[in-house]
Each structure stands twice: as C-alpha cells, then as structure tokens.
Structure 1
Amino acid sequence: MVMKGTATVTSKGDPNILKKIMADLGKLEVYVGIPEEEASREGENKNEGINNAELAYIHTHGIRAGSMREEMQPNMNKGMPYSKAYEMYVQEHGSPLWHSPPRPIIESAIEKHKDKIADKLKPALKARLNGDEQGAREGLEKAGMFASGKVKDFFTDPENGWAPNTPKTIEEKGSDRPLVDTGSLRQAITYVVGEK
C-alpha cells in the first residue's frame, strides 16, 4: 500500500523553484505492508509453506476453490490479468464458493485512519518545502511507523468487519479471533521509505 496525498501550495516567489520542490517531494513514498525480504514466517523454511505476504493476500481476497485456480492459471500465464481470468471463470461457472472469507488488512486499516495518517505526513511536506530533505525523510518515517502501527492494531479492532472464525477453526486453533494465531503475520507488517 502506497500512502499518497495531495497538497495545494501557493507562492509569490519563483514558480520554477516551487515546481522543483514539489517534483522532488513526489519522488519519496511511504510503503506499508510486508517487504518480500521479511515475509518468511518464523520457524519455517523460506522455500516451504506460505509466507506472511502471501498469507495477507489470501486473507484480503479469500481463497478460491482449487479447480477454479487451476482453470484460471493458463489464462494468467498467457498474460491475462487476474480480474479478466476471474471474470471468464464466473461467466462460465457462476459465482465460486469461498473457502475462506476475505478479511482485508492493510487497505482497510489505512482507509479507516487516513485522516490521522495525513496529519502525520504534514511535517514531511513542510520540511521538504523548507528544503530540509532529512526532515522530510524523518517525517515520512514517522508517518510510516504510525500507519504500520494502525495496521497492526486493526487485527484486534472490533470494527474491522472480519467474518468470525468457523466453529471448526475455533476448535482447531483454540481461539475465536480471526488472523490472530502465532502473531507472525501481524508482526510482519512494517513500512519502508523509498524513492520512485
């Protein structure tokens, strides 16, 4: 998830300087999620099982029936986007059953707290407008830390809207809290400040 915002700035000075500052600021972004290099699950071989990034994707979008995935895969291998392959499948077979309900994590948490996150981004903008690149980067770091914390909090937020665990799942894992088992997925959420 890339956090983006817009700002309106007016100046009585040289318009070319203002354009350069805004262009430079636009090169920095804050990413909140699970970086590939940190996606492995604790205690698991990186080449086996599922990693935290894949697990977050599955919980965000749900799990499709195996036969559906198998039928869609050749089209996706040929370069057809997932949504078109999915649309073709639904047109042929009707709506598939979900084996696991979607439980969106990152985008929903960012959306819920977007105003607070925007407030955390303001110091970065002000620093960059004042020519303080280090201050801009530090502001983005603080905003990223805040946003990733809000995503982690979302796992236990009663307003997250996630479907409850099934009785079978509760029996197997000993908990009725969705996505809270080992804590590995939740702790994998972080942020990165990078340049485009």
Structure 2
Amino acid sequence: MNFSKLDGLLNRIKALGQKEICVGVIAKTASRKDQKARFSNAQIAAVHEFGAPNKGIPARPFLRSTLIRNKQVYTEALATQMRKSVKQRQSAEQAYQAVGLKAASDVQHEIRHGAHTPLKTTTIQRKKSSQPLIDIGQLHQSITSIVRDINES
C-alpha cells in the first residue's frame, strides 16, 4: 500500500482547515491617499457601517449585510474550491483567495449599488453627488481580502 499518497492527501486536507478569509478594509489599505485626511478608510468604513447618530450620520451597512446575505454562496464556493485543492488542482491558499476575491468584489458592488439611506441635501450640495458611501472612491478601492492562518487571529 502506498502511504505517501495518503499522507499527502491528509496534509492537503489539514492545510484547508488552517486558514480564514478576512474581507473589508485591511490595515494595508486603511490609510487615505490624501495626507491631510483626518480619518483612515477603516474609520470611515466603521462610521458608514454602524452610523454616528451623535453626528447625524445614519448607518449604511455595506460589509456585514453583503457577507451575511451571501454566506451560503461563499460556503458553496469554498467547498468547490476545496475540492479542487484536495485533487491538487490548486493550493489551499488559492482556494481561500478565490472566495475572498469574490466576497470583496460583492462588498464593492454593494457600496456602489446598494439601497442605502439617502444623503442629506447639504451633503449632496457639498459633494455634488447623491451617491452615498462614495465621495472620491478611496473607501471603495480599499475593500480587499486576505487569507491568513487561523493562529494569526
């Protein structure tokens, strides 16, 4: 009996369970390109996601709502990707990256096209747009995903 193939399969399966996908504004994308910016992309995302009632800013969730709504889609996609990994068509890292890229893309789509609370008239006049969550596009561009080992959490 060839145990080296079995050992290889067991190692691939073990590697699949040692990863997690993080989606959102990751530390490396949190800073703003404008050096005079008062807030990072992560801070701006948090304000929009949860709102700031004391500042008159309603919650406009785009991250949690997208990930929750698509949870089953991501679960099925990860299962498909993992099967490819077990069959040695890709690494465990690639399996997770594929699903992370899809989730980040979905969040960006939600920022652009989601049904968010409309902006106040004064905000529309200031930014010359009625599009919530997008001013100059840096928050949208900062949404990404990373794959990391579970023990890095």
The TM tier, using the shorter chain, reads: 0.7 to 0.9
Q: In structure 1, what is the equivalent of residue 29 of structure 2?
A: 38
| In 2: Cα distance, 1:24 partner to 1:35 partner | 23
Moved beyond 4 Å, runs of 4+: 20-23
The change in CA–CA distance for 1:180 and 1:52 in structure 2 (over 3 A counts) is same
1:111-126 equivalent positions in 2, closer than 5 A? 111-126=68-83
What residue ranges of structure 2 are gaps of 5+ in the alignment?
A: 1-5
Aligned to 1:87: none
User: 3-state DSSP class of the match of 1:153?
Assistant: helix
SS of match in other structure, 2:60: coil
Of the candidates 139, 142, 145, which is equivalent to residue 185 of structure 1?
139
TM-score, length of structure 1 as denominator length: 0.64
Conserved? CA contact 1:126–1:136, under 8 Å: no
**Deviation for aligned residue 1:134:** 4.7
CA contact 1:123–1:136 (8 Å) conserved in 2: no
**Corresponding residue to 2:19 among 6, 20, 28:** 28
TM-score under structure 2 length normalisation:
0.81
Which residue pairs with 2:46 in the alignment? 57
Superposed CA RMSD:
2.4
Residue equivalent to 1:80: none
State the identity as a percent: 27
The alignment covers a number of residue pairs equal to 143
Structure 1 unaligned blocks of 5 or more: 1-13, 66-97
Task: Verify: 1:151 aligned to 2:99, yes or no.
Answer: no
Residue 99 of structure 1 aligns with which residue? 56
Amino acid at match of 2:80: P
Instruction: State the SS of the aligned residue for 2:112.
Output: coil
Greater relative contact order (Cα 8 A, min sep 6): structure 1 or 2?
2
